[in-house]
Amino acid sequence: MKIVVPEKWIPCDGIVLEENADAAVRTDKSVLVVAGPGAGKTELLAQKASYLFQTNTCSDPQKILAISFKNDAADNLKKRVIKRCGKEIETRFISMTYDAFSKSILDHFRFALPNVLRPDAGYLVNDADTIDAAFKKAGYNNPLNLLAYKLKSYYERVLDSIELPFSQNNLGETVWKLLLKGFDDYKPVLSFKMISILAEFIIKTNPKIKRGLQLTYKFVFLDEFQDTTDLQYKLVKQCFLNSDSIMTAVGDNKQRIMVWAGARKTVFDDFSLEFKSETQKLIMNHRSAPRLVDLQKKMYASLNENDCTICVSDKWNPDDGTITLLIAGNEDIEAKIVAERIFEKVSSGIEPNKLCILCKQKPQDYASKIIDELRNHQICARIENDYQDLIKEPIVEMLIALLRLAVDRKHPHDWEFIVSMVVNLWSLDSLQSNDDYVNMQNDLDEEIKQLNIMMESITDEKDFRALLKHAIQFLGEKRIKSMFQAYGQGTYLNDQLNKFENYMWMELETAQMDWILAIENFEGLHSVPIMTIHKSKGLEYDVVYFVGLEDSAFWNFKNQPDEDRCTFFVALSRAKKEILFTFCKYRYTSRFRWQSHDQINEFFELLKVPGIATIIEG
């Protein structure tokens, strides 16, 4: 990596940053970046990391800590930075989720806790049965006969409300004590929020640990900042407030859709005040066509956004972008029209994975008939809920690379990835001899040959399971658990391996044992993704089909209008070129068959504004 003076640094990959983005990248002060959809929030963080490393502003051994909400977002950001700055900075750019950050503090500094608060090393995470048993052991037997989901919410509220150290001797503290140490035949179990509370207490009561953290992480990035919860913000403050660490928070209050999960509504104002940050507002929308951006801007008033100065990319013509509202008589008509439109797009050359079907909730209910209709057109569509997280699991990424190389060795990216992973797993650092690397590469080559031989004789899922077991033994299960903390917890590694085995075997059977096609299908390269709006955060597609713009989907609109408006905004801002909304008058598979749009009529009125949407009835 070549070092340049700050004045001569230019953004990587020929990207031109708008004025405020460039200022946010170069500032030596804490900054809050307010950026709408398509503004390039992740790219800004990647460019800022490149600036800090390439100008030596973040000098060795200082590190950058980047905290995201989702594993795939953390992984995506890290890959972008490594691509620009090289693998030499890999250990100095720490990209993780809030959950992983708090867990790393607890696992590294567990012995800094007093014994009464110190969980056993082998604690499990989020085991619902153990948590339920602990409440019963503490004397709470659901006297109000709460339904399962309400009981779970009650448990969470009780556990999250505890302040350390213990002082109340109430139900919450009693349950905490049981979960920290384990009881009867139950192992110790912590929720991620309990882990965050313990991590915050460690930092609060151990000034040397806090100082060490601040010296290590000179720069801190906070992504999707609008969804930060009270506990998460409290931990960030405890770690970095009133320190020399320079904070960069990036978010969009128009996309705050996690209030139900505890998102802190005042987090932008709190951060600006407490961290004394600058504020930079980005005005570019690099993603969406002009007519889609016009629709987004028309929502700003209802989202309490005064300034709607948004510029679109000059790659578009002024009239680009298509918005359609489909009013269907029933689910069969809806499915037929949506499937035909998707078929037209795929027939025109658009890859299926460039399209997306979004639902407010329960995609299996809203999209099942569309899946069937698409199958009639020989187009695959699948609900991404499980796949989306599984594909990003490190163990799955390693297994996919090994399988693809076993079929066809001409995949340089897979070679580069699996070699780097094996080097890390086997601790072949720079102090070891070239012979160690040569031996490792020879061993890897032999393993890939052996996997190829095993593939030739696979006839059932049992054989496939044996192949995966062989690959895991080569990588080293103990090494995997040591390198990835999550895999060392309970049955998590086996759970992910079982999921992968089931899904991958299903793809192999569907592809009639065509391994490359099965791998591509598993990765979703040939299917239309279907997901909830919450799962679509941070993603973008050429065309979006939003199925179920109905009161029953937005059933809680009366109680949370602001959050549901943000949810609608997130959905429409995923689209680059086109978006189609559907309203179905009669859903015979729904609990409430006759549908209405009385509660969410403001969305319909928005779409009916002259010149906004084409309305079709079927």
What residues does 327 pair with on adjacent strands?
Answer: 583, 617
What confidence category does residue 386 fall into, taking pLDDT thresholds of 50, 70 and 90? confident
Long-range pairs for 589-595: beta carbons < 8 A, 24 or more residues apart: 589/331, 589/365, 589/368, 589/369, 590/365, 590/552, 591/552, 592/552, 595/550, 595/551, 595/552
CA–CA dist 470, 362 (Å, integer): 38
- pLDDT tens profile 550-572: 999 998 888 888 889 999 999 99
Locus of tokens 């339920």: 132
Give the angle 504-78-354 at the CA atoms, nearest 5°. 50
Sign of the Cα torsion 92, 96, 100, 106 reads positive
Question: What's the pLDDT score for residue 1?
Answer: 82
Q: Percentage of the chain with pLDDT > 90?
A: 78
Q: Tell me what pLDDT residue 258 has.
A: 67
- Distance from the Cα of residue 498 to its chain's centroid: 21
**CA–CA–CA angle 284, 289, 294 (5° rounding):** 75
pLDDT digits (tens, 9 = 90+) for 135-144: 999 999 999 9
What does the pLDDT average to over 335-354?
98
**306 exposed, middle or buried (CB, 10 Å; 0-12, 13-18, 19+)?**
exposed
Q: Which helix (H) or strand (E) holds 251?
A: strand 246-251
Structure tokens at 18: 């708008």
Identify the three-state secondary structure at position 459: coil
Strands 93-97 and 284-285 turn out to be unpaired
Hey, what are 595's tokens? Answer: 């549908």
Two tokens, residue 393: 């699991």
Judge if the upstream peptide bond of residue 165 is cis by omega within 30 degrees of 0. yes
User: Where do we find the tokens 């592809």?
Assistant: 511
pLDDT confidence band for 257 (50 / 70 / 90): low
8 Å CB contact between 522 and 562? no
Where does the pLDDT of residue 286 fall: very low under 50, low under 70, confident under 90, or very high at 90 and above? very high
- Asked if residues 319 and 612 have their Cβ atoms less than 8 Å apart, the reply is no
| Residue 467: Cβ-neighbour burial (10 angstroms; 0-12, 13-18, 19+) | buried
Question: Rounded distance, CA 326 to CA 347, Å?
Answer: 21
d(CA 57, CA 100): 26
Mean pLDDT for all residues in the chain = 93
Rounded distance, CA 12 to CA 44, Å? 11
> For position 433, what pLDDT does the model report?
67
Among the ranges given (82-91, 182-191, 329-338, 517-526), the one the predictor scored with the smallest mean pLDDT: 82-91
Using DSSP's 3-state secondary structure scheme, residue 134 falls into helix
pLDDT tens-place string over residues 471-492: 999 999 999 998 887 888 778 8
**DSSP labels for 556-597?**
TTTT-HHHHHHHHHHHHTTEEEEEEEEEEEE-TTSSS-B---
Q: Do β-strands 311-312 and 541-547 pair in parallel, antiparallel, or remain unpaired?
A: unpaired
Amino acid residing at 281: K
Instruction: Choose the weakest-confidence range: 92-96, 114-118, 437-441.
Output: 437-441
How confident is the model over 568-597, as a mean pLDDT?
92
478 is written with which tokens? 């103990």
What integer pLDDT is reported at residue 573 of this predicted model? 94
Helix (H) or strand (E) holding 358: strand 355-359
Identify the helix (H) or strand (E) that includes residue 34. Answer: strand 31-35
State the DSSP code for 29.
S
Q: Please give the sequence-ordered ranges of beta strands (E in DSSP) within 179-223, or none if there are none.
A: 189-190, 217-222
Which residue type, as a one-letter code, is found at position 199?
Answer: A
pLDDT at 261: 64
Identify the DSSP state of 350. Answer: -
What is the tens place of the pLDDT at every residue in 33-48? 999 899 999 999 999 9
Which residue from 248, 227, 322, 218 is spatially nearest to 578, judged by alpha carbons? 322
Mean pLDDT of 382-388: 89
How many whole angstroms separate alpha carbon 337 and alpha carbon 582? Answer: 10
Is residue 447 within 8 A of residue 467, CB to CB? The reply is no
Euclidean distance between CA atoms 78 and 87, whole angstroms:
10
Question: Is the pTM value of this prediction over 0.95?
Answer: no
| Chain Cα centroid distance, residue 72 | 5
Over residues 424-482, the pLDDT tens digits come to: 899 886 556 678 888 999 999 999 999 999 999 999 999 999 999 999 999 999 999 98
pLDDT at 259: 64
How confident is the model over 160-179, as a mean pLDDT?
95
Statement: residue 133 has pLDDT above 70: yes
Q: How far apart, in whole angstroms, are the C-alpha atoms of residue 361 and residue 534?
A: 9
Instruction: Over range 235-240, report the average pLDDT.
Output: 98
Residue showing tokens 């104002």 = 269
Write out the two tokens for 353. Answer: 């994975």
Report whether 479 contacts 366 (CB < 8 A).
Answer: no
Q: What is the pLDDT of residue 466?
A: 97
Is-contact 270 233, C-beta < 8 A? yes
Query: In angstroms, rounded to a whole number, what is the distance separating the alpha carbons of residues 383 and 363?
Result: 7
